[in-house]
């Protein structure tokens, strides 16, 4: 693991990407960024992040397709990935099914973009085995 841990933030919403990157930096992480699934794969190979936090819905290649490609590649297959979605379902059982599906594909977490930023940072830290 890098010291401090390196987080790769992948999101096509530049404003949200910047907010998340700023929050991670303020929380003691190094940050690299990208805007779609294709960049996620390229950047993951280039910078070897400790964890990728990636939006599900993006142009060129969505987060689920990128996750599958990352898990197929010998270089990136062990990289931890958290998927972020803007699509919160008012029925918890649907969200739980989506989260279970994401984990079956290899994601370590499935979080809503509407979650508090502190909660997202906490989940990243716990995914990396860090204690607060």
Range of the domain at 56: 6-127
Q: Is 132 within the bounds of a domain?
A: no
Mean pLDDT of 14-37: 95
Mean pLDDT of 62-67: 91
pTM for this model (two decimals): 0.89
Q: Is 20 within the bounds of a domain?
A: yes
Q: Is 34 within the bounds of a domain?
A: yes
Residue-wise pLDDT for 101-125, tens only, equals: 677 787 888 888 877 888 889 989 9
DSSP class per residue in the chain: --SSPEEEEE-S-HHHHHHHHHHHHHTT-EEEEESSHHHHHHHHHHH--SEEEEESS-SSS-HHHHHHHHHHSTTTTT-EEEEEES---SSHHHHHHHHHHHHHHT-SEEEETTS-HHHHHHHHHHHTT---
Count of domains forming the chain: 1
CATH of the domain at 60: 3.40.50.2300
């Amino acid at each position: 693991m890098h010291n401090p841990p390196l987080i790769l933030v992948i999101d096509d919403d530049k404003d949200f990407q910047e907010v998340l990157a700023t929050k991670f930096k303020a929380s003691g992480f190094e940050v690299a960024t990208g805007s779609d699934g294709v960049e996620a794969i390229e950047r993951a190979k280039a910078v070897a992040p400790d964890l990728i936090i990636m939006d599900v819905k993006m142009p060129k290649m969505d987060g689920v397709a990128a996750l599958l490609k990352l898990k197929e590649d010998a270089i990136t297959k062990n990289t931890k990935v958290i998927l972020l979605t803007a699509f919160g379902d008012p029925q918890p059982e649907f969200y739980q099914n989506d989260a279970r599906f994401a984990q079956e594909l290899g994601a370590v977490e499935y979080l809503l973009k509407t979650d508090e930023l502190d909660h997202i940072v906490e989940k990243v830290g716990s995914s990396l085995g860090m204690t607060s």
